[in-house]
Structures are given as structure tokens and as C-alpha cells.
Structure 1
Amino acid sequence: MRKWIWLVAALLLALVAYTAAGPYLTIRAIQQAVQEDDTRALARQVDFPALRGSLKLQLDDAMVRRAGPEVQASVLGRIGLQVASGVTAGLVETMVTPVGLAALMEGRRVWRRVDISAPPRPNAGADGQGKPLQDAEHRYESASRFSATVHDDAGRPVVFVLTRKGLRWRLSDIRLPL
């Protein structure tokens, strides 16, 4: 009977350790998928519907704040904001794909991914590109939310948020410095 208790305790400890290591394993899988240009592997690590929704909301909010209250108060301004919101939604749909996300995380432009005549991609590690989230600051926000923060060229934080559903961790949000 005592052996069973120890076995159950060991299994529970292994399950907790695996769950705690999950975000780090996901980040490593993302890095490896980007380095190897493996869009299928990257797609397994990203919750695309949640990521698209989050980015659409962030961009719409930033656009409305930058437009100011004068534009929001006028009828033509509101129509313009709705049209612009549709354009940003289309851009998010286009960019938040395995190919687009890999290019953004790697610091390359998406058109270079699809342009056959574009120069070959830089070697991973040669100039710091090719390994996303390498120098990120990691922290648990809760038992099911983990963030990895990197800084852009201007020193502004870009936060990659991973969420857990069951035992699986996936990238579900990118908080942009807007």
C-alpha cells in the first residue's frame, strides 16, 4: 500500500514539473520551428484565433486613441474609423499566419518570405536574427499564464503571452508597444 502512495506522489510531482516546464518547452519549440522554417510546427505552438483577436483589439484601440475625440465625435470620422478598422482586421488576418508570424518573430519582413528573388535568410545567430525570444525576460503571471518580454530596437517592451489549456501551453497573445 505504501508503494502505491509513493508512486502516486511521484506521478503527481512529475506532472507538476512537466506543467511548470511547459512554457519553456513551448518557447524552445517556437525557436526551433522558426529556425527550421517549419510552419506546421510553429502552428502547433500558437493559438491563432486568440492571437488574431487580441491583435485586432489592440490595433483598433490604438487607432481610436490616436484619432482623438474630435474624429470620434463626427459622423465622417466614425465612418473613417470603421473603414480603417476593417483594413487593420485584414492586415492582421494576413500577417498572423505561421509564415507571417515566423517572419515577424525573426525580424524579417513577410514579403521576403514569399519573394523568390529576395536574398537568403540570415544564418541563425549570425546577427541575432533567427532565434526569437532568445533574450526574453520570463515570468509566470498565474498558474495558466506565462509571459516572455523582449525589447524592440527603441527599447519598448513586446510581451509574448502563453496560456495553458490542460497540459498544453500555446502562444495566445502578443502585447505590442502601441
Structure 2
Amino acid sequence: MRVPKRIQGSTTRPLLITLIVVIVIAALGFIYASPYIAVNNLKRAADARDVQTVNSYVDFPALRESLKQQVADMLTRRLGADNGNKMATIGAMIGVTLIGPLVDAYATPDGVAALLNGMPPRGNPGEQPAPPPAAGTEGQAAPPAGNNANQANAEPPARETTAGYRGLNEFVITYRRGEGNANYSAIFRREGLITWKLAAINLNE
């Protein structure tokens, strides 16, 4: 029996609308999740020293400029807090002259891996990015030296990592530890609709 055209149309239209709604929801979900995907892909590539993939997820000129400014600000604050400690002041002044080499060391796949594993630059002369932690030890630190058994067995402060949007075109990962450890954030910026790149570091989060 031939189905009337009116019935065919009334059946097809709701299915088409439902399909369009599903596609739109899926697309919006993918767009929302795109920075999380970018961060995960970049961290894996940086840990594996996959230079080509790292380059596709990092805006190195912007990152270098951010690192230069942040390290300079960090050393300036250190100079202001020395309160007459001449040796500390001399050390900080030496550090200022070494901003360029430090930035060069961190604006690399090794440096990106360190930044995404919670190991930012400290502004020390001759500083190099720390290697990423071994599998299963991420966020842990070496036990403190000393003969005190309780001290040796004490666990280091756990690192807390939070991630989320800070505006429509900015996505931020914030790293926090216990007291006495600097907090900082890695800032990703949108390029296009679903492309995100590491573009800045905030060492005074």
C-alpha cells in the first residue's frame, strides 16, 4: 500500500529536527571540551619530547615574552624583600642578567613539560627545567634529608591542580601546593574555534 506523502513528511520532519539537535549539542560539547583535549595532548607530547606536536600547541613567541616578564617581576620582588641581605641581593642581581638563558631553557619542549608537571622556574642562576616525574610519582617530591625518621617518612604537600575557562578565549590551569611553595598558572588562549595554545605563564597566581 502506498503511504500518502503527507504522512511521510510528518514522520521525517521530527527525525530530521532531532538529528540536527543532536549534532548541534555534540558540536557544542566538543567546542567546550577542546581546551581540555589540547592540554592533555600537549602534556603527553611534551613528556614524550614530541617536538612537532608541542610546536602545534604552544605559541612560543608569546610564551617567551610572558616568561621574560614573569621572571623579571619575580626577581624584582625578591630584591625588594631582601631587606639588606647583601648576598641574596647579589644573587638576585645575577639572576636578572640570566633572564635570557632561563627563558631560552623554558621555552622548549623540556620547559613546557616541566611547566605542565608543576615545576615552574624559580629564577635561580643556571636553572634548567626539571625532568618530568617518573610514572606513578607525579606531584611527589624527594624525601627530605636528615636522620629524623619521622621527617624522612613525612609526605610532601600534595599538589592541587585546577583547570577551567577564564573568559571565552582563555583557559587556565592553576597549580597549588602547601605553604612556602609558589603557586602559578599556565594560560592557554584560543586560536580559531577549537584550537588552543599555551601562550603565557603567571608565576604570581
Whole-Å separation in 2 of the counterparts to 1:86 and 1:67: 13
Say yes or no: does 1:15 pair with 2:42. Answer: no
Whole-Å separation in 1 of the counterparts to 2:100 and 2:24: 43
- Unmatched tracts of structure 2, length 5 or more: 1-8, 81-92, 121-126, 141-158
Which structure's CA Rg is the greater one? 2
Give the one of 161, 166, 170 matched to 1:145: 170
Deviation at 1:88, TM superposition (A): 1.0
Whole-Å separation in 1 of the counterparts to 2:78 and 2:128: 26
Contact 2:49 / 2:109 at 8 angstroms: preserved in 1? Answer: no
Deviation at 1:105, TM superposition (A): 3.7
Q: Assess, with a 3 A threshold, how the Cα gap between structure 1 residues 25 and 170 changes in structure 2: closer, same or farther.
A: same
Say yes or no: does 1:123 pair with 2:137. Answer: no
> Which residue is equivalent to 2:85?
none
Q: TM-score, normalized by length of structure 1? A: 0.66
Whole-Å separation in 1 of the counterparts to 2:182 and 2:63: 20
Contact 2:74 / 2:203 at 8 angstroms: preserved in 1? Answer: no
Say yes or no: does 1:175 pair with 2:202. Answer: yes
Alignment of 1:13-162 (within 5 A): 13-67=25-79, 87-106=98-117, 107=119, 110=128, 123-125=134-136, 127-128=137-138, 135-152=160-177, 154-162=180-188
Q: TM-score, normalized by length of structure 2? A: 0.59
Q: Greater RCO between the two (CA within 8 Å, min separation 6)?
A: 1
Q: Which has the higher helix share?
A: 1
Whole-Å separation in 1 of the counterparts to 2:175 and 2:57: 18
Contact 2:110 / 2:129 at 8 angstroms: preserved in 1? Answer: no
Give the one of 159, 180, 190 matched to 1:164: 190
Whole-Å separation in 1 of the counterparts to 2:182 and 2:109: 24
Which shifted more, 91-100 or 161-170? Answer: 91-100
Deviation at 1:41, TM superposition (A): 2.1
Contact 1:45 / 1:169 at 8 angstroms: preserved in 2? Answer: yes
> Which residue is equivalent to 2:149?
none
Whole-Å separation in 2 of the counterparts to 1:26 and 1:93: 23
Contact 1:56 / 1:88 at 8 angstroms: preserved in 2? Answer: yes
RMSD: 3.6
Code of the residue aligned with 1:89 in structure 2: it is G
Count matched residues: 155
Code of the residue aligned with 1:20 in structure 2: it is Y
- Unmatched tracts of structure 1, length 5 or more: 69-80, 114-120
Code of the residue aligned with 2:138 in structure 1: it is G
